[in-house]
Each structure stands twice: as C-alpha cells, then as structure tokens.
A and B are shown apart, each in its own frame.
Chain A
Amino acid sequence: MRRARDPFFWGLFSAGGMLTALLLPALFLVAAITAPMGWFGMTGYEEWVALASHPVTRGGLLVVAFLAFFHAAHRFRYTLYDGLQLYHLDALISIVTYGVAAALTVLAAALLILVV
C-alpha cells in the first residue's frame, strides 16, 4: 500500500507544482491586469462569464485547482513531518492535509458547477 501511496501523491505534487508555476502567473495576468485595463478587447463581465462557463474552461480550472490543492497539501505535510519532526503523527497529518485538499477540490467543483 505504501509503495503505491508515495508515487501517487508525489505525482499530484509534481504535476501541481509544474502546472501552477506555468498557469497561475498567466491567469493572474489576464484576470487581474489585462482584463481590468481593457487590453485585448476582453472588458465586459458577460464575456468573462461566457468564457468561464464553457465546459472546457470549467474542466481546466478544476484540474488546476485540484492539482494546486494537492501540491500545497503535500508540501505542508512534509513541512510538518520533517520541519517539525512529527514522525509519529504522519498518518494523522496525511489524512488532514490530503483531506483538506480533497474537500477544497470538491468545493471548487461545486463552485464551478453551481456558480459560474
């Protein structure tokens, strides 16, 4: 079981780190700078809702959120595990950190389905 757990969570951590490093700056640039400044023609709220409601966009955002949450969870798990040397609490730490990541992923999915 443990043999499967390590590559599984490291895979999510690794993919999440790469994807967020590539995508988050671009998403911030578009959503926080170019769109509010009215560059490249994307100005209206409706246009944004239309873009975000597209199934491909929703799916993409969910994947980014899922991997980013699990990346953060893995990093935080090892911060507690090695950083604070809480070896005896590894099972509890894993359940809490990955559990929170899973809960946040469900929340992100709910928001993407219900709100957008």
Chain B
Amino acid sequence: MPDTVKLEVFRYRPEGEGEPLYETFEVPYRDEWMVLDALNQIKDHQDGTLSYRWACRMGVCGSCGMTVNGEPVLTCATYLEPFLPGPIRVEPLHGFPVIRDLVGDLEDFVGKLQRVKPWIIREEERSPSEGEYLQTPEEMDAYKRYSMCINCMLCYAACPIYELEPGFIGPAAIALAQRYNLDSRDEGARERHEVLAEHEGVWSCTFVGECSIVCPKDVDPAGAIQRYKVDATLDFFRSLVTPGRSP
C-alpha cells in the first residue's frame, strides 16, 4: 500500500482567479480512509480555504455528495482504496451551478421538493385527542423504501435528463411525492398530481435508470417514476371511457 495518494480537487474561487481549475494535493493514505477523510486532511493541514459540505460522516445527512472519478458518490461512504494508485479526481456534483470549490447551488432542488408537497396532507386534520393515525406493517411497506431518501441529490447528478432539461422535477422529488402518495394516512395525491402529471413531471423521464444505480439508500427513484407513469396512464384512459372523471 502506498504512503500517500494524490487528489485532483476542483477549485472555483469567484473572487480569485475566477476560472475553475484543478489543484493537486498529496494526502497520507490510510486503508480505512474515505474520500471525505482525505478532503478533511487537506482542509485541516494544507489549505483551509477548500470549501465543501459535510456533516455526519455516516451516510445519513446527505450533504457530502461529490463526483469522484466521474461517479456521483457520498464521499463519507467511499473508500480511497478502490481508486489506487490515483490520482483521484474530486469534483462537485454535476448538473448544479457551482458556488465555490465543491459546493453546488441547491436552490433548484429545494424549490422542486417543495412543489411536490412532501408532507402528509389531510382533507380534515384530526385533533390529537382523537388519537394516532394507525397503520399496518403492510401499509407502511408500501412507501417505506421511498422514505429512506436523504436528499443527497446524487440521483440528480446522475440523471442525464436533468442536465438536458433543467425544468424536470427530478428523481428524488418524484420518489418523495410517491412516499406520501402511497402512505395510507395521506390524502394529497390529487394536489401532487398537478405537478407530477406535467410534462416536466414524470413524463420527461425516459427511464435511463442511473438514479436508482447511484442511490446510496436503495430508494429506487426510477421505479417510483415508472410506477407513477403507469398510474397516470391508467387514470387517463379511464377518464376517456368514463367522461366527467378528471384525469
């Protein structure tokens, strides 16, 4: 095993040289180190100006997503070892405007997430005194997979359609819409339909499937989207044979 490994890190300092460039850092190599540990070594010991997001270092917060040797990954869950002997190229997630170094602008995603109303919508709220909304294990299984999303946006970085059609509402937002649509306590499917049934909702997706491949939480956004397409199509053809019913 080598003593050190080189990282080629994407740098963008709008107030400095203005143009993006790659800066090479040599960091100590440790078998148990993740890419994030190497970035922290750079930040702590070599260049304190290097900017990137991270928080939990255990694959839960979803903030350390970056492009490592061309693949969108959580850097806290990606060992250095498979990339030996290096150099390892670290870039921001593709498809997002870069604010600085490895930090992307998340405004677009956050706006889309809010549009699909990812919370439980009730026509009439029950008061707490009436007790909990009960749910069977089977009812929970219907949406549980989609609830594992940590908003890390690796699926957006992997999606070729999101890069080509920036209006596309995107994999995670649709998977989270389905997380609530399929929840037995929720009554908001019709409201979300307004957003999902647009061309820039589910129909922009051509089922490339990369989103489900890169998802670190096995959420399967591609599956969620195809499932919604089937439901929306059946609704549409049903509305043709039963006039008066809105699709």
Contacts from A to B (Cβ < 8 Å)? 2-4, 6-8, 10-11, 14, 78, 82, 85
Chain B residue numbers with a CB within 8 Å of A4 are: 236, 247
Chain B residue numbers with a CB within 8 Å of A3 are: 197-199, 247
In the complex, the chain B residue whose C-beta lies closest to that of A11 is: B233
A6 touches B247 (CB 8 A): no
CB distance from A66 to the nearest CB of B (A): 15
CB contact between B233 and one of A10, A78, A82 (< 8 Å): that residue: A10
Which applies to chain A's interface (DSSP): helix, strand, loop or mixed?
helix
CB distance from A71 to the nearest CB of B (A): 13
Contacts from B to A (Cβ < 8 Å)? 160-161, 164, 197-199, 203, 206, 229-230, 232-233, 235-237, 247
Chain A residue numbers with a CB within 8 Å of B203 are: 6-7, 10
- In angstroms, Cα B204 to Cα A78, docked, is 10
In the complex, the chain A residue whose C-beta lies closest to that of B206 is: A78
A7 touches B233 (CB 8 A): yes
A7 touches B199 (CB 8 A): no
**Contact of A82 with B199 at beta-carbon distance under 8 Å, contacts A3-B247, A7-B236 already known:** no
- In angstroms, Cα B236 to Cα A3, docked, is 9
Residue of B164, B233, B247 contacting most chain A CB atoms (<10 Å): B233
- In angstroms, Cα B197 to Cα A11, docked, is 14
B199 touches A6 (CB 8 A): yes
B164 touches A82 (CB 8 A): yes
Which applies to chain B's interface (DSSP): helix, strand, loop or mixed?
helix
- In angstroms, Cα B164 to Cα A82, docked, is 8
CB distance from B58 to the nearest CB of A (A): 37
CB distance from B227 to the nearest CB of A (A): 12
Chain B residue numbers with a CB within 8 Å of A8 are: 236
Extra pairs beyond A3-B198, A82-B160, A82-B164 (4, CB < 8 Å): A4-B236, A4-B247, A7-B203, A7-B237
A-B contact pairs, 9 of them (CB 8 A): A7-B233, A10-B203, A10-B233, A11-B233, A14-B229, A14-B230, A14-B233, A82-B160, A82-B206
- In angstroms, Cα B91 to Cα A25, docked, is 46
In the complex, the chain B residue whose C-beta lies closest to that of A12 is: B233
B236 touches A85 (CB 8 A): no
- In angstroms, Cα B197 to Cα A6, docked, is 9
CB contact between B236 and one of A2, A11, A82 (< 8 Å): that residue: A11
Chain B residue numbers with a CB within 8 Å of A10 are: 203, 229, 233
**Contact of A82 with B161 at beta-carbon distance under 8 Å, contacts A3-B197, A4-B247 already known:** yes
The 10 closest A-B pairs by CB, nearest first: A7-B236, A6-B203, A11-B233, A7-B233, A78-B206, A7-B232, A2-B199, A6-B199, A10-B233, A10-B229
Chain B residue numbers with a CB within 8 Å of A14 are: 229-230, 233
